[in-house]
Amino acid sequence: MEALFEDHRPARVLDAGCGSGILSIAAALLGARKVLGVELEKAAADTARRNVAWNNVQDVVTVACGKVQDLRGKYDLILANLDPDAAVILGAALGRALVSGGDLVLSGLAGFETDRALLHLAMDYGLNKVEHRVLGGWHTLLLSKPPTEDETTPNSP
């Protein structure tokens, strides 16, 4: 995540399944302008809100209790520490919520799960693998959504 922030500061970040809010907080501390953490479990969302306040990033981070599938906004960066089943279930919502040219960091995968999650997100949602990292047996994928043709076509004079 730090490397992504070295190149640019995302205007809008989504932490899908934010749990304790650690990735939301990290994104704010790295310089994100606005972060939305979404968590299905009320108790976890409450914990994330407390952690956001304790880290004094409530001016940047908002935590909502609800379903990622119900989101309507677009995000430059999506952080998702999910198991592959959740990634498959949320794949359409994540792909839809990501702006063209945006990045998705998918972490929390065991080795055997990585190929399945990657295949699903690439084949079904058009995301491209940029990087694959492994630390302590856990896999993290960095995927990007290609710019649309309109965005890659130069403006005519």
List, for residues 73-120, the tens digit of each pLDDT value.
999 999 998 776 776 677 778 888 999 999 999 887 776 677 777 777
**Of residues 92 and 47, which shows the higher confidence score?**
47
Range 2-147 classified under CATH 3.40.50.2000: no
Say what the pLDDT of residue 6 is.
Answer: 86
Say what the pLDDT of residue 103 is.
Answer: 93
Query: Which letter does DSSP use for residue 11 in this model?
Result: S
The HSE-up count of residue 85 (CA atoms within 13 Å, CB side) is 0
151, pLDDT greater than 90: no
The alpha carbon of residue 126 and the mean position of all alpha carbons in its chain are separated, in whole angstroms, by 16
Q: pTM value? A: 0.86
Closest residue by Cα to residue 37 from 66, 9, 10: 66
Task: Please count the other Cβ atoms lying within 10 Å of the Cβ belonging to residue 8.
Answer: 11
Amino acid at 5: F
Q: Which long-range contacts (CB under 8 A, 24 or more apart) does 66-70 make?
A: 66/38, 66/40, 67/38, 67/40, 68/14, 68/16, 68/17, 68/38, 68/40, 68/93, 68/94, 68/97, 69/93
In the chain, what are the domain boundaries?
2-147
Question: Residue 103 to residues 40, 41, 94, 125, 149: CA-CA distances in angstroms?
Answer: 22, 25, 10, 13, 17
